[in-house]
């Protein structure tokens, strides 16, 4: 069976669970829920304990919340028990927000070792690396032989205590991280040698990638992207090995950041987009649209200043939206590039001048190019050379301002410790509309009238 096939029939889905990834099962459950909520819960309750937790994590937030309420404490306890420590903590915290008593009963049903790990992970803030790490990992002391550690790994794998193992972390007697050796390198060594002997032959070769447990997770994500990492060690006080962060968790972080950024640019609150209550979502969006209405009124007031000019030259009303639209689109291009580069760390406040200059030059180039094109079109269209000159000059002015403010607004917000994505679009649209309308109508009044 194709793993990407979406099964919409509950019976058929349950028959084919062994051949499907938890993500595919979750996709099928989403389709089933659209057709019948009862079938969704029926199928969910029939899932084996060893995959239920993974499937829950793949479901959208609103369906997860419904599942937490519907599933029994026994089912949820068994599902959480099968997960790794970071995922256990995530699910318990989500259930805690909905029903503290239920979360406590699930927690009480877990093994003592799991409880200790969950308690430890819950101490971290949600933006710290420690909150994303899993404590399950393959480590070995430096005086241990490779053969002894491999036997431990085999046993742990056989008992499903470890998964996605990429390397062994070498530690000393105080659990201080010393090195990291990939499994593909490990299998070529003499299994009778100790790790200390291996490291003495080339310690720098096995220098581990590591991050502090209180490091910002966005900075960790940048390191994953920069060095193409699949896993990184998390260390605490004096370099003590605490856990590891794997690439699947970092992909979730990157996706969340990109989604949040995109929503913020559009003035949409991600927290409300998964609400079942349409009025709640509509009200939240309306607040942003209300702000947009205010800026649109400002632009209209600028147009109102040139009422006599518009009455004298009707062609201006036809061409006016073109100037504003071109400025808005050019500014949005610049804004999107700047916000993304700021998020990725490609632009810092120190080298901001170069970034602004680059965007202004690009905007000026496009301004001159489209000024020539639109100037000729307006001349031929209305058989007036001066009208072509007016719109051409206005196009250059507006695209210049679009480039300058599209690059500057995110930098100013960043300087003020405000997320550059929040409010940038509204501010930029206001500038390009007002500058576009004012420059076009003022030039028309001076040159044509």
Residue 402, H or E segment = helix 385-415
Identify whether 169 is part of a domain: yes
In whole angstroms, what is the distance from residue 399 CA to residue 363 CA? 6
Of the residues 98, 123, 148, which one is the last residue of a structural domain? 123
pLDDT surpasses 50 at 2: no
Question: Residue 337, by phi and psi: left (phi above 0), alpha (psi -120 to 50) or beta?
Answer: alpha
217 and 159 part of one domain: yes
In whole angstroms, what is the distance from residue 129 CA to residue 83 CA? 19
In whole angstroms, what is the distance from residue 319 CA to residue 328 CA? 15
Which of 191 and 342 is assigned the larger pLDDT? 191
Rounded to 10 degrees, what is the CA torsion of 275, 66, 24, 166? 100
296 and 439 part of one domain: yes
**Per-residue confidence (pLDDT) for residue 254, from 0 to 100:** 85
Of the residues 246, 281, 301, which one is the last residue of a structural domain? 246
287 and 434 part of one domain: yes
Give, as one character, the DSSP assignment of residue 239: G
Collect all residues with Cβ–Cβ distance below 8 Å to 51 and sequence separation of at least 6.
17, 22, 25, 82
Identify whether 101 is part of a domain: yes
Of the residues 188, 211, 246, which one is the last residue of a structural domain? 246
CATH code for the domain in which residue 108 is found: 1.25.60.10
Identify whether 361 is part of a domain: yes
Residue pair 386/447 in contact (Cβ under 8 Å)? The answer is yes
Residue pair 326/391 in contact (Cβ under 8 Å)? The answer is no
Per-residue confidence at 271, pLDDT binned at 50, 70, 90? Answer: low
Identify whether 131 is part of a domain: no
User: Which tens digits make up the pLDDT trace of 42-89?
Assistant: 999 999 999 999 999 999 888 999 999 999 999 999 999 999 999 999
334 and 385 part of one domain: yes
φ, ψ of residue 128 to 5 degrees: the values are -95, 150
In whole angstroms, what is the distance from residue 68 CA to residue 55 CA? 12
Residue pair 107/116 in contact (Cβ under 8 Å)? The answer is no
Q: How far, CA to CA in Å, does 271 sit from each of 185, 275, 285?
A: 45, 8, 12
Quick check: pTM over 0.75? no
Collect all residues with Cβ–Cβ distance below 8 Å to 339 and sequence separation of at least 6.
261, 265, 410, 420, 421, 424
DSSP-derived secondary structure for 100-113: HHHHHHHHHTS-HH
Question: 161-165: long-range contacts (C-beta < 8 A, 24 or more apart)?
Answer: 161/136, 162/136, 162/137, 162/138, 163/84, 163/136, 164/231, 164/246, 164/248, 165/137, 165/138
241 and 92 part of one domain: no
223 and 75 part of one domain: no
315 and 424 part of one domain: yes
Look up the domain containing 224 and give its range: 139-246
Which of 144 and 262 is assigned the larger pLDDT? 144
Number of domains in the chain: 3
Identify whether 320 is part of a domain: yes
290 and 436 part of one domain: yes
302 and 334 part of one domain: yes
426 and 394 part of one domain: yes
In whole angstroms, what is the distance from residue 181 CA to residue 170 CA? 8
Identify whether 130 is part of a domain: no
Identify whether 395 is part of a domain: yes
Among 3-17, 93-107, 118-132, 347-361, where is mean pLDDT lowest?
Answer: 3-17
101 and 158 part of one domain: no
Identify whether 129 is part of a domain: no
CATH code for the domain in which residue 408 is found: 1.10.357.20
Per-residue confidence at 427, pLDDT binned at 50, 70, 90? Answer: confident
CATH code for the domain in which residue 237 is found: 3.10.580.10
Per-residue confidence at 162, pLDDT binned at 50, 70, 90? Answer: confident
Among 60-74, 243-257, 340-354, where is mean pLDDT lowest?
Answer: 340-354
96 and 143 part of one domain: no
pLDDT surpasses 80 at 220: yes
Which of 50 and 1 is assigned the larger pLDDT? 50
User: Which of 160, 162, 134, 140 is closest to 231 using CA atoms?
Assistant: 134
Counting Cβ atoms within 10 Å, is residue 252 exposed (0-12), middle (13-18) or buried (19+)? middle
């Amino acid at each position: 069976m194709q793993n990407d096939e979406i099964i919409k029939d509950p019976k058929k889905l349950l028959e084919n669970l062994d051949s499907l990834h938890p993500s595919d099962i979750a996709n099928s459950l989403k389709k089933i829920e659209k057709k019948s909520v009862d079938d969704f819960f029926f199928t969910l309750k029939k899932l084996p304990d060893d995959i239920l937790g993974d499937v829950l994590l793949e479901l959208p937030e609103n369906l997860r919340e419904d599942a937490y309420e519907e599933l029994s404490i026994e089912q949820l306890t068994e599902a959480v028990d099968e997960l790794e420590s970071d995922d256990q903590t995530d699910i318990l915290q989500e259930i805690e927000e909905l029903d503290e008593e239920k979360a406590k009963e699930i927690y009480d049903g877990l093994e003592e070792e799991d409880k200790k790990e969950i308690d430890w992970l819950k101490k971290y803030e949600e933006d710290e690396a420690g909150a994303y790490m899993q404590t399950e990992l393959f480590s070995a002391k430096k005086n241990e032989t490779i053969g002894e550690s491999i036997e431990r790994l085999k046993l742990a794998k056989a008992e499903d205590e470890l998964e996605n193992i990429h390397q062994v972390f070498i530690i000393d007697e105080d659990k201080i991280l010393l090195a990291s050796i990939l499994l593909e390198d490990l299998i070529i060594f003499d299994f009778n040698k100790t790790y200390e002997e291996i490291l003495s032959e080339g310690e720098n070769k096995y220098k581990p990638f590591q991050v502090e447990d209180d490091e910002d997770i966005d900075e960790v994500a940048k390191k994953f992207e920069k060095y193409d990492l699949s896993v990184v060690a998390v260390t605490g006080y004096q370099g003590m090995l605490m856990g590891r962060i794997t690439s699947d968790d970092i992909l979730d972080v990157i996706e969340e950041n990109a989604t949040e950024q995109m929503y913020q640019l559009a003035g949409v609150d991600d927290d409300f987009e998964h609400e079942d209550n349409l009025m709640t979502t509509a009200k939240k969006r309306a607040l942003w649209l209300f702000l947009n209405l205010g800026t649109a009124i400002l632009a209209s007031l600028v147009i109102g200043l040139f009422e006599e000019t518009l009455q004298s030259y009707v062609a201006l009303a036809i061409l006016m939206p073109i100037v504003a639209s071109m400025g808005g689109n050019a500014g949005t291009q610049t804004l999107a590039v700047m916000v993304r580069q700021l998020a990725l760390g490609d632009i810092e406040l120190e080298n901001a001048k170069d970034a602004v200059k680059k965007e202004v030059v690009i905007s000026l180039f496009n301004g001159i190019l489209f000024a020539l094109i639109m100037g000729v079109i307006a001349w031929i269209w209305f058989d007036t050379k001066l009208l072509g000159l007016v719109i051409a000059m206005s196009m250059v002015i507006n695209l210049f301002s679009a480039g300058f403010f599209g690059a500057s607004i995110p930098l100013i917000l960043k300087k003020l410790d405000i997320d550059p994505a929040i409010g940038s679009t509204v501010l930029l649209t206001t500038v390009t509309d007002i500058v576009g309308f004012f420059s076009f109508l003022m030039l028309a009044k001076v040159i044509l009238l």
